Amino acid sequence: MLFPESTNDRYEGCLASCHFLAVLAVLTIVPGSIHAFLPDGGAVTIAGLDLGPAATTIIGLFAWAGATQIVHGLAMLAVALRYRTLVPLYLALVLVERAVMTLNWWVLKPGDTVHRPPEVYATLVMMPLVAWFLGQSLRGDRGRGRV
Q: How would you write 98-124 as a 3-class SS string?
A: HHHHHHHHHHHCCCCCCCCCHHHHHHH
The neighbour count for residue 42, using CB atoms within 10 Å, is 22
CA-CA distance, 125 to 38, in Å (whole number)? 26
pTM (global) more than 0.85:
yes
Taking alpha carbons only, the member of 65, 61, 48 closest to residue 116 is 48
Mean pLDDT across the stretch 114-129?
86
pLDDT at 145 over 60: no
Share of the chain above pLDDT 70, in %: 93
pLDDT at 146 over 50: no
52 phi, psi to nearest 5 deg: 55, -150
